[in-house]
Amino acid sequence: MIRLRNVALGLDEPQELLRDKAERLLKTKVSDVKIVRRAVDARRKQDVHFVYTLNVTARDEATALARCRDASPAPVNDYAPPVPAALSEGRPIVVGFGPAGMFAALALAMAGLRPIVLERGEDAAARAAKVERLRREGVLDPESNIQFGEGGAGAFSDGKLNTGVKDRRIPWVLERLAEAGAPVDITYDAKPHIGTDLLPGVCANIRKRIESLGGEVRFSTRLDSLETANGRLTAAVTNAGALPCSRLILACGHSARDTFEVLCKLVPMAPKPFAMGVRIEHLQADTDRAQYGPFAGHPALPPADYALAAELPDGRRCYTFCMCPGGEVVPAASEPGMVCTNGASPYKRNYVNSNAALLAALAPEDFPYPGALGGMTWQRELERRAYEAAGGGYRAPAQAVGSFLHGGPSRFGRVQPSYEPGVTACDLHTVLPPVITDTIAGALPLFDRKLRGFADPEAVLTGPETRSSSPVRMLRTDTLQSPALAGLYPCGEGAGWAGGIMSAAVDGLKCAEALIGSIQ
């Protein structure tokens, strides 16, 4: 089989032409074509088109490979979770049912180990009702919300699956998501996403697959502590009682602050660089025009996205993250009396605004609080300050970009804030510290040069965005276990070893593999 790259397809050309194009490039007959990757090439605004990578079966592959510089032998990816040398007597436990815990549990279940998953939040349907109540009524359930529950934080965000991680497990993860009901285009799109409206159902189907293999998912079950003996794990202590176990994958997510506080006394942790800032909203139509030029609005094109980064003269870094085309800003609080934001988009990405996190990179030396949990303590402080500045009720402080940069009253015009339960116009310079606001203010003009209209005075800043990644890293050895507690596998974004749905899923698989390999 041949891997054929750089196959261009016009916006008005059907995918059925890919076979003809492959035959012209390879100068031979092609019997089978599979799309491996599809991306939009918008570098030249007068010639926006699609670029495909294909796997093709050709008549004379050796000759075809010699003729085409964009052709090479197709790589073989035969990844599959390993099978243990023997079945252990005790069932492994997975804490958390976000992407890391979900794929760790799936791999363990496929290996015949019948894992028990402990998830402090609720199943997708019950959780969705709690999220909606927060949006509509300003009532927070600290145990079931955008951060906690089936699918983790990603289930109620855009469901973006693109990642900078290169790993052979990624195609396997995408295939399992598609089998569970995700759109098949996630297996080949350069920037795949599932959408907030579809992802909860996909997560529920993966859970059913785990259960069909003998696994078990226990909702509303929170890990409260661990029991140990002679440096080894012996039990997981939950709000429903203690469970004996010798192997536990800890994939609790980046917002399990009470879990961090308990485990900090048991296992070594360190403060980790992370980022905080705001969400920035523009009209999606403006983002499309900035990216696609005269092709904006073409029905074949997806809503445009962007990814921007800059280093300021003082060395500070600012970047956009978790960009949500055609989406909305959503409440991401998980503790009473605190407010924070996230972004979300449905699969069709057909809402009026686009939004993205606009973040200042922060290092442990920036934290005003010492210790492994210094960044977490800082998060809490800023979330409380934002809650008070907005007047409570989980409203969020917001400000127009023009007012943020130049002062004066903040009036929302063409771009209306999408955040619910609602926003309160505030001076964000009084809510967030200068290390964040000065960095964002310095970066906005730089980003405007890269993406026209980014610093539009009527664009909206809503904050704070504090949960971009975990501020904590739980140390682990080459065996992926805690150096202080054999049998404990710190995993995923909450443990500081991932940063997004795909990287978390990959880390979950790695921890499952390590656990399986430990069974003799």
Whether residue 421 is preceded by a cis peptide bond, meaning omega within 30 degrees of 0, is: yes
Query: What topology is assigned to 2-73 in CATH?
Result: Alpha-Beta Plaits (3.30.70)
User: In the chain, where are the structural domains located?
Assistant: 2-73, 93-270+472-517, 274-465
Contacts of 185 (CB under 8 A, 6+ apart): 38, 192
What the block records as the tokens of 393 is 């009720």
Tell me the C-alpha distance between 423 and 439, whole Å: 23
pLDDT in tens, the chain (520 residues): 999 999 999 999 999 999 999 889 988 888 899 999 999 999 999 999 999 999 999 888 888 888 888 889 988 888 999 988 777 778 999 999 999 999 999 999 999 999 999 999 999 999 999 999 999 999 999 999 999 999 998 888 777 888 878 899 999 999 999 999 999 999 999 999 999 899 999 999 999 999 999 999 999 999 999 999 999 999 999 999 999 999 999 999 999 999 999 999 999 999 999 999 999 999 999 999 999 999 999 999 999 999 999 999 999 999 999 999 999 999 999 999 999 999 999 999 999 999 999 999 999 999 999 999 999 999 999 999 999 999 999 999 999 999 999 998 888 999 999 999 999 999 999 999 999 999 999 999 999 999 999 999 999 999 999 999 999 999 999 999 999 999 999 999 999 999 889 999 999 999 999 999 998 7
Strands 2-9 and 71-73, bridge-based pairing: antiparallel
Q: pTM for the complete prediction?
A: 0.94
Torsion from C-alpha of 335, 255, 269, 215, nearest 10 degrees: 120
Tell me the C-alpha distance between 282 and 325, whole Å: 10
Query: Which alpha helices (DSSP H) does 356-429 contain, by range?
Result: 374-390, 401-406
Contacts of 44 (CB under 8 A, 6+ apart): none
Q: In what order do the strands lie in the sheet with 232-238?
A: 223-229, 232-238, 241-244
Secondary structure of 20-50 as H, E, C letters: HHHHHHHCCCEEEEEEEEEEEECCCCCCCEE
Secondary structure (DSSP) of 237-290? EETTEEEE-S-EEE---TT-HHHHHHHTTTS-EEE--EEEEEEEEEEHHHHHHH
333-350 as b/e: b if 16+ CB within 10 A: bbbeebbbbbbbbbbebe
Residue range 93-270+472-517 forms a domain whose CATH class is alpha beta
Tell me the C-alpha distance between 220 and 212, whole Å: 21
Tell me the C-alpha distance between 161 and 437, whole Å: 29
Taking phi over 0 as left and psi of -120 to 50 as alpha, with beta for the rest, 274 belongs to beta
Whether residue 434 is preceded by a cis peptide bond, meaning omega within 30 degrees of 0, is: no
Same topology between domain 2-73 and domain 93-270+472-517: no
